[in-house]
Amino acid sequence: MKVYYYFLFRIYKYFKDKRNESEFEALFSVIIVSSLILSFHLIGVYIIANYFNLVTVVTNKLYMVLFMVITGFINYYFFIRDEKFLNYGFQKDKKGGVYIIIYMILLGISLIIISNINRKKIFEERRRNLSIEQIEPGKSLIGDIVKWVEKNN
Nearest 10 degrees: CA dihedral of 56, 50, 109, 14?
A: 60
Task: Give residue-wise pLDDT tens across range 68-117.
Answer: 999 999 999 999 999 999 998 898 889 998 999 999 999 999 989 998 99
Q: Would you say residue 11 has pLDDT above 70?
A: yes
Supply the pTM of this predicted model. Answer: 0.74
- Domain count of the fold of the chain: 1
Domain that holds residue 106: 2-152
pLDDT value for 134: 56
Answer for the pair 126, 134: CB distance below 8 angstroms, yes or no.
yes
Per-residue pLDDT, averaged over 31-46, amounts to 93
Please tell me which residue, 126 or 73, carries the higher pLDDT value: 73
Q: Would you say residue 153 has pLDDT above 80?
A: no
